Amino acid sequence: MNASTGHRGTEERHHRGVGAFAEPRAERVHPLGGCPAQGGVNFSVYARGAEQVELLLFERIDDARPSLVLPLDAKRHRSGHYWHLFVPGVAAGQLYAWRAEGPFVPARGQRFDPQAVLLDPYGRAVALPRGWQRAAPHALPAKSVVFDPRGYDWEGDRPLRRPFAQTVIYEMHVGGFTRNPNSGIAAGRRGTFAGVVEKIPYLMSLGITAVELMPVFQFDAQEAPAGLTNYWGYAPMSFFAPHAAYGTRPDEPLSVVDEFRDMVKALHRAGIEVILDVVYNHTSEGGDGGPTFGWRGLADGTYYLLDGEGRYANYSGTGNTLNANRSVVRRMIIDSLHHWVQVMHVDGFRFDLAAILSRDEEGRPLASPPVLADIESDPVLAGTKLIAEAWDAAGLYQVGHFVGENWKEWNGRFRDDVRAFVRGDPGMVPVLADRLFGSPDLYGARPREPAQSINFVTCHDGFTLADLVSYDGKHNEANGEGNRDGSNDNLSWNCGVEGETSDPEVLALRSRQVRNLLAINILALGTPMLLMGDEVRRSQRGNNNAYCQDNALSWFDWSAPAREAGLLRFVRGLIRIRFLRESVQREHQLTLAELLRDAALQLHGVHLGVPDEAWDSHSLAITAKSLSGDLLMHFALNAWWQPLEFELPALPDWAGREGTGWRRVIDTARDAPHDLVAPEAAERAGGERHRVEPRSVVMLMAAARAPVLDI
């Protein structure tokens, strides 16, 4: 009686010890979920306070009612708060759900509903019927699916374990990457894990080393304004199951699991790591009045933070907050991470609103949050990339002091300060120097590696890079919320005209500003992250909160790589130049403080050795010497609206002997392909000074032997 067998009818049938199965029996409490064992499947679920629990077995995904109901006897099938039984004769692919009966006393954290059909919190796959409705989830219920992790051929695949210092991250949406009809991918494969596989050559040519996938856990796509779709996916219905709609056969949930693994295996073969954006801070059940999918109907007061009257804490901004430091929830999070590492082979995780995970049951930040300590000390997760979005929706901001030793952080300060400097804001020169040097003001107090900071100027949340230089304000009317949603503080500048324009001077300035931001982001000390499509100027027409726009507004436009070939080449070149630095090589395991000392970094203004940190200064220059001493890079940044003459450092004797001298490798004021030139072919920059055009970035290089780069 699984997803592939014939239909037996839609009327519920209570098992009485006869029929298709031998007598179910009490079996193991562990592992949780529906787990195949010899001769059948062991089912186990946590349901604190439940007085009666039933296991529901279904024939087909679209069935409204179970074909068999198996009541669990509290004396035989309950151990503590766990209900469990072994069902002979069923196997992987079996569709199932739970029902739990008990008190409805929200003030005590009990919201049992005997009519609610509940997903298994440990279900490794989810089957979502056609016609399923968030507003009436139990009329045509979602089902969990029994999954057997054995049998898949990984062909020797292992997580890549690439050091952060050698990592360039590409934040990507699985659906949006290939959903556009101009992707060149067959209709049934667009917007899927399989579609990503077809575009791996593009990712390889770009030079990125890791994709950070926006949520791929099964999510509620209907959690959005009427007529729109939750596109981003920050509305989890499961912490173990991949999103069925990202499979080419969404009505075959186990095939979706295999297609995810096929994608991971293919990316690994290409040398690209897979990082998942994970949402362990809230669920799609929302707050008071929200739907019941699973956790709420099994153990509301265990899974969620509640006040004394049973109201949901809302540190996530979505209606509820997981009680992450409760032992049961903590174990669920760890088990979920184990599943994605051991069974699905992912390389790392970016934790959405990770600061929430530091809150106790009263919402107060803990000095040593148990769940974060568990994650960081877990041997299965050792070597796995851990990235924290170190803030939450209630104002807790932990950038620079997130708990633990192994976490890297999305550096929101880098984003804001770089945007402000490039826009031309006053007073930014001193802080910009810190951002370019790996943010020692944030990360220098402890022995941190230079890659501690995840540097970005754009991400999914906010303007794209093209929009950052094209709009002064957000334009979110399409979201149906009267343009009230999304941030009002974007540190953007439209370069003189709001939105689309044909003015050549405005377009040229925008192009220059895009290159300035990319050059700073990719070449600064830290781990750079790029937003999908920024390398080809993807625009959302000023929408800075496109979470509900599953359409061409958010999708990657596959006509753009040809149209923006010059910018794409520039980004590829920046990544290749980044990898010239010895600080990204494995043999140099230096802390941030050691690197800043040993690399002989020098700060300048337009005059050597005299950085201008005045309030009205808009210029900065940096000279960096390689650890081996045979490569020099000199950066000059001019965010002023007039050209500036920067004094050039004297070169060592070897530069004169080899005759290389300073060569202009990057100049964002120049048109492609002269904006970035391979060092061996770059023009000489003679004299004691070098002119840097308004609002532009220049990088000069001198090397004992000019590196040969394929740009």
pLDDT in tens, 642-701: 999 999 998 887 765 555 689 999 999 999 999 999 998 999 987 899 999 999 999 999
Our answer to whether residue 417 is catalytic in this structure is no
pLDDT tens digits, residue range 296-307?
999 999 999 999
Q: What percent of the chain has pLDDT over 90?
A: 85
The least confident of 288-292, 435-439, 592-596, 669-673 is 592-596
Weakest mean pLDDT among 103-107, 200-204, 266-270, 660-664: 660-664
Nearest to 360 by CA among 397, 398, 330: 330
For residues 278 and 351, the answer to whether their CB atoms sit within 8 Å is yes
- pLDDT tens digits along 209-231: 999 999 999 999 999 999 999 99
The CA distance from 238 to 219, in Å, is: 7
**Burial class, 386, CB count within 10 angstroms (exposed 0-12 / middle 13-18 / buried 19+):** buried
pLDDT of residue 256: 98
Per-residue confidence (pLDDT) for residue 29, from 0 to 100? 86
Q: Is 352 a catalytic residue?
A: yes
Structure tokens at 655: 């530069």
> Which residues pair with residue 646 across a beta bridge?
690
- Relative to beta strand 602-604, strand 619-625 is antiparallel
The predicted model gives 245-260 an average pLDDT of 97
Q: Is 331:29 a contact under the CB 8 Å cutoff?
A: no
Same fold, 1-151 and 600-703: yes
pLDDT band at 16 (very low <50, low <70, confident <90, very high): very low
- Which pLDDT tens digit goes with each residue over 553-592? 999 999 999 999 999 999 999 999 999 876 666 556 778 8
Per-domain residue ranges of the chain: 1-151, 600-703
Kindly write down the DSSP assignment for every residue of 207-240, as one continuous string: T--EEEE---B-B-TT-SSTT----S---BS-SS
Element (H, E) at 35: strand 33-37
Distance CA 381, CA 371 (A): 13
The CATH number of 600-703 is which of 2.170.120.20, 2.60.40.1180, 3.30.70.360, 1.10.3720.10? 2.60.40.1180
**Is pLDDT at 501 greater than 90 in this prediction?**
yes
pLDDT of residue 600 exceeding 80 = no
Say what the pLDDT of residue 704 is: 80
Catalytic residue among 252, 277, 352, 409: 352
Tokens representing residue 122 in the block: 């440990």
Which tens digit of pLDDT belongs to each residue from 303-344?
Answer: 999 998 999 999 999 999 999 999 999 999 999 999 999 999
* pLDDT score at 710: 82
- Give residue 14's pLDDT: 54
Catalytic position from the list 300, 389, 392, 667: 389
Superfamily for domain range 1-151? Immunoglobulins (2.60.40.10)
pLDDT of residue 601: 84
Q: Which of 213, 165, 528 minimizes the C-alpha distance to 350? A: 213
